[in-house]
Amino acid sequence: MNDAATENDIPAHLTASARDYASLLKPRVMSLSIFTAMVGMVVAPGPVPSWGLAVLSVIAIALGAGASAALNMWWDSDIDGRMARTAARPIPTGKVPAAEAFGLGIVLSALSVWLLALSGGYLAAGLLAVTIGFYVVVYSMLLKRRTPQNIVIGGAAGALPPVVGYAAVTGAAPLEAWLLFALIFIWTPPHFWALSLLKKGDYEAAGIPMLPNVKGDAVTREEIFRYSVALVVLAPMLAVAPLAGWLYAAAAIILGAEFLRRAYLLRRSPDNTGAGGLFGFSIFYLFALFLVLLIEHWAGFHG
Ligand code: HEM
Ligand SMILES: CC(C)=CCC/C(C)=C/CC/C(C)=C/COP(=O)(O)OP(=O)(O)O
């Protein structure tokens, strides 16, 4: 019996592996969101009330992030099947039935919010529910197929996890938690539009009105540059709040200079050279800034 014959004889949905179900949770993308939520927990003032509860809260947030991804894949399975980048996902390939992804997303969403209510309180649980709802309903269902501002407004979902983390250990969401929100909110357009310049053909094929498809590459490069300027100005300013110190400020200035250099070169590049590099650097940038916040707090620079 050869492998090809086996694959052809068995319906796709019966060959789904644990890996296919796991990929519904978009673990790679969500790992950075979970990390920002953890940092939100650590930078919150005062000692972490209970490490056991903190670990449960991280698990709850990770479950919620995965749940929202499964619901996004359920809703978007038609367009995912038309884009080269996403065509191999488990619903378009028929490995996981859409109804199963929906069920998994709903069950995990409810479980995550319930668990976070127990470990981190009602405010954190409410914010997690809003985050999931924003990504699935506001971004995926209402905005993604309608307006090139989809990721600007919908990006609020990706910016909320540190506020959820902060609320999980303090029971509050004061202004300084929203500074972390603002950082990710302003970071999202350069992060995503850099990639969208390279994936314009995909979005064309799927009929999604991403910025380069609607307004063209030059406008997109200009918008990336503008948001990058706003980002590198805003990022060091977080150091005025008690949650960040001089090490963070130095990192924000150095990393910001490189971010701006890349965005400037891309702006001047008619063939979008440097878009892939800026996309990759955006991920490193956000990870590094949050890592520095973590180090500052663990090294005892803050109370
Ligand atoms: C509306 C907001 C956002 C959009 C539209 C967006 C879109 C994307 C897309 C299309 C990819 C490529 C994924 C793939 O290869 O299949 C990606 C990658 C990634 N995104 Fe975002 N993103 C957003 C916000 C965020 C946020 C808030 C974070 C974390 C804080 C994040 C972290 C990542 C990471 C870590 C990757 C790389 C994943 C990998 O290495 O495979 N993104 N993003
Ligand atoms: C705690 C919690 C609930 C966290 C959620 C964080 C969150 C909403 C991240 C959204 C980022 C993301 C994966 C966008 C992808 O856009 P897309 O869906 O258009 O990308 P695709 O084309 O790859 O599907």
The string of pLDDT tens digits covering residues 191-225 is: 999 999 999 999 999 999 999 999 999 999 999 99
Ligand 1 within 6 A of CB of 84: no
pLDDT class for 6, splitting at 50, 70, 90?
A: very low
pLDDT for 66 equals: 98
pLDDT for 287 equals: 98
Q: Which ligand is nearest to the CA of 29?
A: 1
pLDDT class for 48, splitting at 50, 70, 90?
A: confident
In the predicted model, what is the mean pLDDT of residues 5-10? 57
In the predicted model, what is the mean pLDDT of residues 279-290? 98
pLDDT for 302 equals: 57
Q: Give the other-Cβ count within 10 Å of 126's Cβ.
A: 16
In the predicted model, what is the mean pLDDT of residues 42-61? 92
Distance 143 CA to ligand 2 centre (A): 13
In the predicted model, what is the mean pLDDT of residues 16-38? 95
Q: Which residues contact 193 (CB under 8 A, 6 or more apart)?
A: 151, 210, 211, 212, 220, 223, 224, 227
Averaged pLDDT score across all residues of the chain: 94
In the predicted model, what is the mean pLDDT of residues 261-273? 98
CA pair distance 194, 183, nearest whole angstrom: 17
Ligand 1 within 6 A of CB of 192: yes
Ligand 1 within 6 A of CB of 148: no
Give per-residue pLDDT as tens, 100-151.
Answer: 999 999 999 999 999 999 999 999 999 999 999 999 999 999 999 999 999 9
Ligand 2 within 6 A of CB of 155: no
Domains with residue ranges and CATH for the chain: 10-173 (1.10.357.140), 174-303 (1.20.120)
Q: What is the DSSP string of 226-268?
A: HHHHHHHHHHHHGGGSTT--HHHHHHHHHHHHHHHHHHHHHHT
Ligand 2 within 6 A of CB of 26: yes
pLDDT for 10 equals: 77
Nearest CA to ligand 1 atom 30: 33
* Phi, psi angles (nearest 5°) of residue 271: -100, 15
User: Contact 146/18 with Cβ under 8 angstroms?
Assistant: no
pLDDT at 3 over 80: no
pLDDT for 2 equals: 40
pLDDT class for 8, splitting at 50, 70, 90?
A: low
pTM over 0.90: yes
Q: Which residues contact 206 (CB under 8 A, 6 or more apart)?
A: 79, 82, 83
In the predicted model, what is the mean pLDDT of residues 38-59? 92
Q: Is residue 218 helix, strand or coil?
A: helix
